[in-house]
Amino acid sequence: MVTIVLLPGMDGSGTLFADFVSTLGSSLEIIVVSYPKEIALGYDGLEEIVRAQLPLGKPFFLLGESFSGPIAISLAAEKPDGLLGLILSCTFAKNPHPYFKPLKSLTRILPISSRFTMTCSPEIVRC
């Protein structure tokens, strides 16, 4: 059986894949990766989390959605055993806003509040 590894967007939970996973049914083995909420990690740290969850000795596809696209691209470039293909969904291959890069160091001192957390309500918009 082929496995599909789903990498989440900015929410990091993978819960937004629920409808997609139920539509796929039992024809594929599904691995939905979730990123830790309690620690802030960069792409390198998140890549390690994903790498540890890749199936060993099985054929699989890697799907990177939105924020996880660069992680999926990086992992696919390593050509892990069993990788059949890379699927990119609503994502980017490089920073879409490179002009903000000089301000990156400011993110360590900016106050972050949960009121800025993005949520998706099925009653308002279909995810």
pLDDT digits (tens, 9 = 90+) for 43-93: 899 999 999 999 998 999 999 999 899 999 999 999 999 999 999 998 887
Structure tokens at 69: 């696209």
Question: What's the order of all strands across the beta sheet hosting 83-89?
Answer: 29-32, 3-7, 60-65, 83-89
* pLDDT score recorded for residue 118: 45
pLDDT tens digits for 94-103?
A: 666 666 667 6
Residue 120 pLDDT > 50, yes or no? Answer: no
Q: Model's pTM, two decimal places?
A: 0.74
Distance (Å) of CA 31 to CA 7, 34, 37, 79 = 9, 10, 18, 18
3-98: CATH topology: Rossmann fold (3.40.50)
